[in-house]
Homo-oligomer: A and B are copies of this chain.
Amino acid sequence: MRPKLKVWVTFGDRLKFGDGRAQLLQLIDEFGSLRKAATELGMSYRNAWGYLRELEEAAGFTFLERVPGGGPRSGMRLTDDAKRFLKRYRQFRDALEGDMKRRFARSYPKQPTSNF
């Protein structure tokens, strides 16, 4: 018997940001490309782009910027605001994962004569 957790944050009534979207941001920054990141996750470019537009509007700050210059890493990257947001989300999510394990062990102590 094992505990499971799904965590996300909402903006307003509708827009969600969870592990999948955190991964999208991470990959955009790694690849320098929204298109490659979307493809990697099996999302359409159009969906990924639309989501990011809504996220920026809801959050009130810019998530993506163009890397200046024309070097090999030219393309997209996360803004400092976006990096801070992502870091906080992960901190929040990982801390809660730890809480979950502790709470579960406390609520369902191992008993020699039982499966739970």
A3 CB to nearest chain B CB (Å): 5
Chain B residue nearest to A100 in the complex (CB): B96
- The copy count of this chain in the complex is 2
Q: Say which residue of B9, B89, B100 sits within 8 Å of A7 (CB atoms).
A: B100
| A27-35, A38-46, A107-115 - interface stretch | A107-115
A87 to B94, CA, bound (A): 26
Given A96-B100, A99-B103, A103-B92, A85-B4 contact (CB < 8 Å): no
A residues touching B (Cβ–Cβ < 8 Å)?
1-11, 16, 58-61, 85, 88-89, 91-92, 95-96, 99-100, 103-104, 106-108, 114-116
- Contact sample, A vs B, 16 pairs, CB 8 Å cutoff: A1-B59, A2-B9, A3-B7, A3-B8, A3-B9, A3-B92, A5-B5, A5-B7, A6-B7, A59-B116, A88-B116, A89-B107, A92-B103, A95-B106, A96-B103, A99-B103
